[in-house]
Amino acid sequence: MATSAYFHIPFCAHICHYCDFNKVFAAGQPIDDYLRAMDKEMARTAAEFGNRLETLFIGGGTPTVLEPAQLGRLLESIHRHFQFDPQTAEFTVEANPDGLTKEKLAVLREAGVNRLSLGVQTFDDRLLQAIGRTHRRGDIVQAVERAREAGFANISLDLMYGLPGQTLEQFLADLDAAFSLHVPHLSAYSLILEPKTIFYNEWRKGRLHLPGEEAEAAMYEAAMERTEACGYQQYEISNYAFPGFESRHNLTYWNNEEYYGIGAGAHSYIGGVRRANIGPVRHYIAKVDNGEWPHRDVHRLTLQEQMEEEMFLGLRKTEGVSKARFRQKFGRDMHDIFGKAIRAEVENGRLEETETHVRLTKRGKLLGNEVFAAFLGEM
């Protein structure tokens, strides 16, 4: 039984140039029918797999593109089908800075939401326009102020680096702007060119000019150094928090624990089975209304796949993968399965080993994907 749940709202007022998440323009979409279908999937999920939750996350898309009454309906459905203690549970909602009205904030607080994740990306107005974002620097500051006035103390800002035309100086300015807002959690992700995005198509045509690997690495190193100097602790490759403000929901993924996924395109991991819901909104609604699970893909992991995931997900965390936890979960010693890969990565300086954990070095964080690949197909 999972104790975490993700709820996907695929609707957006505007499509960003880099985004490959399951999303559609909100205009003309059957949003009310979609929320009704989500309610049905929640009911079936809770009845079949259990309804006690410790972390909840509403993401998208843009959840705050919903009107206040629609947000209220979604939150009421969650409360009706799942049980959680509002004093101890972590309940996160993603939001765009320019869509966070006082009325919507009040609806979220009333329903027990206690954490906001703001999609800032950059404070540079020119870069914001270049990547297809609709907010501007002033909207970010206003959103944080409004959130605090509404009673939110746990606020996270998402930043991006390696953006087209972005310089190290611009990214340093973004970090300084984020620090000035004194939020307890920051995420900083490098731009990844995903197929079917505007940026990917522009790159294939030779029209997209990116900073390059060396500049991107310098930005990442700056993020690690500057956040530490400002009191943040890096607890995952791309995430930094004041002590006690780490994202418990995202740690569910990196700890390779189970979770529910509700909505079009959502993923779940229950009982050793990974499930992916179909993405198109109307197809999702039709499946649910027909009394079917809205799954596009169902995959039962082999023991080998479970152990590989334990390694490459866990190595994203600064603390790394626990040897004792690995042995407890799988009844095998980590070195019996991955000894060759661990030794090779330690020798080349990308992994280090303590008595209790195997973890990335600073060099390993810069080359994370190469390290993770070393643990695939080891058996």
What is the residue-wise DSSP string for 72-140? HHHHHHHHHH-B--TTT-EEEEEE-GGG--HHHHHHHHHTT--EEEEEEE-S-HHHHHHTT----HHHH
> How many residues are there in the chain?
379
Please give the average per-residue pLDDT across 32-40, as a whole number.
98
CATH 3.80.30.20-classified regions of the chain: 4-254
Please tell me the predicted confidence (pLDDT) of residue 21: 60
3-class DSSP string for 169-234: HHHHHHHHHHHHCCCCEEEEEECCCCCCCHHHHHHHCCCCCCCCHHHHHHHHHHHHHHHHHCCCEE
β-pair type (4-9, 260-262): parallel
Query: Peptide bond preceding 61: is omega within 30 degrees of 0, i.e. cis?
Result: yes
Residues 6 or more apart whose CB falls under 8 angstroms from that of 57 comprise 4, 5, 6, 7, 91, 92, 93, 94, 249
Contact 297, 275 (CB under 8 A): yes
Please give the average per-residue pLDDT across 372-379, as a whole number.
78
In the CATH scheme, what is the homologous superfamily, with its name and number, of domain 4-254?
A: tm_1862 like domain (3.80.30.20)
Helix (H) or strand (E) holding 363: helix 362-366
Q: How far apart are CA 35 and CA 146, in angstroms?
A: 27
Confidence of residue 379 (pLDDT cuts 50, 70, 90): very low
* pLDDT at 182 exceeding the cut of 70: yes
Name the fold adopted by 303-373: Arc Repressor Mutant, subunit A (1.10.10)
Confidence of residue 15 (pLDDT cuts 50, 70, 90): low
Q: CA nearest 8: which of 76, 68, 56? A: 56
Please give the average per-residue pLDDT across 168-195, as a whole number.
94
Q: Per-residue pLDDT tens for 293-328?
A: 999 999 999 999 999 999 999 999 999 999 999 999
CATH 1.10.10.920-classified regions of the chain: 303-373
Give the neighbor-by-neighbor strand order of the sheet with 351-353: 321-322, 357-360, 351-353
Please tell me the predicted confidence (pLDDT) of residue 19: 59
Question: Coil, helix or strand for 360?
Answer: strand
Mean pLDDT, the chain, rounded, equals 94
Two tokens, residue 42: 């929640």
Please give the average per-residue pLDDT across 78-101, as a whole number.
95
Two tokens, residue 62: 């843009």
β-pair type (154-161, 185-190): parallel
Confidence of residue 132 (pLDDT cuts 50, 70, 90): confident
Which carries the bigger pLDDT value, residue 120 or residue 206?
A: 120
Q: Per-residue pLDDT tens for 356-374?
A: 999 999 999 999 999 999 9
